[in-house]
Amino acid sequence: MEAPVLYEKIVNNELIQIENVPALVCRNCGEEWLDDETLETIERIFTQGVAADRPAN
């Protein structure tokens, strides 16, 4: 099933949190994982900065 999760990652010794990331959750063991498209979007956010107030080079 699909469920929004809180995604956390430490970047430059700073804890970055992204809320309401659409994840797939296993009904059996509760494991969460993200599909490739979602991961790409998240990586882009981390690369460009969460605030995204600066244009990327």
Nearer to Zn ion, 1 or 10 (CB): 1
Among 12, 28, 47, 57, binds Zn ion (CB under 5 A): 28
User: Strand order of the sheet with strand 2-11?
Assistant: 2-11, 14-25, 32-33
According to the binding rule CB under 5 A, does residue 26 interact with Zn ion?
Answer: yes
SS3 53: coil
Structure tokens belonging to residue 16: 């970055």
Tell me, what amino acid is at 1?
M
Among 29, 54, 55, 57, binds Zn ion (CB under 5 A): 29
Positions that interact with Zn ion (CB under 5 A): 26, 28-29, 31
